[in-house]
Chains A and B, each alone.
Chain A
Amino acid sequence: MTTSELIWYLALTAITANMVRLLPILLIRGRITNRFVRSFLYYVPYVTLAVMTFPAIIQATDSPWAGTAALLLGILAAWRGYNLFVVATICCLAVVVFNAF
């Protein structure tokens, strides 16, 4: 494939990806007052992130047990109130330690 063809493909992807992000902002200007819609939007972020985390985390590592260790230690660390970076580091270290054995 030529470089110019690749540019077209990738430009189209970039434009579409950003249009999807902008559409709701162009369409929804005010506050949403509907209780169901607000409740739905309240839960969306947590549900999306949870769905994307599991089972992906145990499929990301060579051994599913390493991913499971990362998941459990990550939940424990986050429960104890450690910040984003510390929790992510603990998950990585869990995999390193698990793979060492």
Chain B
Amino acid sequence: MFNQQIANRLPHRFRRGTPLVQGMRDGLPIGIGYYAVAFSLGIIARNLGIPAWLGFASSLLTRASAGEYGAYSVIAIQATMVEVIGMAVVTNLRYLLMSTSLTQKVARRTPLWKRLLVGCCMTDEVFGISIAYPGQLPPSYPLGATIVAGLMWAAGTASGIVAGDILPEQVVSALSVALYGMFIAIIVPPSRQDRGIAVAVMASFALSGLCAILPIISTLSNGTRTILLTVIIAAAAAIIRPIQPQDIDNDNL
């Protein structure tokens, strides 16, 4: 009875199935967006002469949009291995923050290998649905999402390499906002409940927009700007509006 009451308060998508199945279900809409984005990534890979099987394997193992775009751009100029590593670190640095954030949401006694598994699953979208998971995060939830979404990401890359640009420009243009729609769906509901988050989100929109047009700062890569703005704005929010002491004892962060 009590469990039923808790279940009734959860968003609909968390009510049924094991965490693995829930993750796979929530991974599907993410995967559809991934497929579209990866398709355009595949077109770039095709121009570099990357075979479809290699595009599939590397996308499945890397799972990072900005990271893979970055990698292709340094491959195109035949950069050194040091530059390849540097690019991968900078374009993926936000995952370091996300991983750190999620280590606090996984149950205390979770074995290390399961924690590492959660870390490997980290992408922007999987992170987004994972922080939205009510209570502690079962490692099988991000895993389920990654099985579905990661395969679709890899399939999208391979499709882009094989099929090139057969999708009409209009379709690509429409699909390209799908990922951002998902981001919006993740950040808006908590903004309604916590004014601190709402203000932080609005400040992020404003400063991010400003940094995209300011001289010098706008010449920094998107990845670098994302990291800088995240650290500055989240630190400012933490100073101005720290979370309440009772929340510190709360495992749900």
A positions within 8 Å CB-CB of B: 1, 3, 6-14, 16-18, 20-26, 28, 31-33, 35-57, 59-62, 66-67, 70-71, 74-75, 77-79, 81-96, 99
B68 partner residues in chain A, CB cutoff 8 A: 13
| B positions within 8 Å CB-CB of A | 11-13, 26, 28-30, 32-33, 48-51, 54, 57-58, 61-64, 67-68, 71, 74-75, 78, 81, 84-85, 87-89, 92-101, 103-104, 108, 112, 115-116, 118-120, 122, 124, 127-129, 131, 169-170, 173-192, 196-197, 200-201, 204-205, 207-209, 212, 222, 225-226, 229-230, 233-235, 237-239, 241-243, 245, 247-248, 253
Given contact pairs A6-B54, A24-B103, A75-B188, A49 touches B183 in the complex (Cβ within 8 A):
yes
B11 touches A38 (CB 8 A): no
Q: Are B230 and A44 interface neighbours, CB within 8 A?
A: yes
How long is the Cα–Cα vector from A60 to B176 in the complex, in angstroms?
A: 6
- A–B pairs, 10, beta carbons within 8 Å: A13-B68, A18-B62, A20-B95, A31-B104, A32-B104, A38-B248, A40-B235, A49-B186, A55-B212, A92-B177
B131 touches A45 (CB 8 A): yes
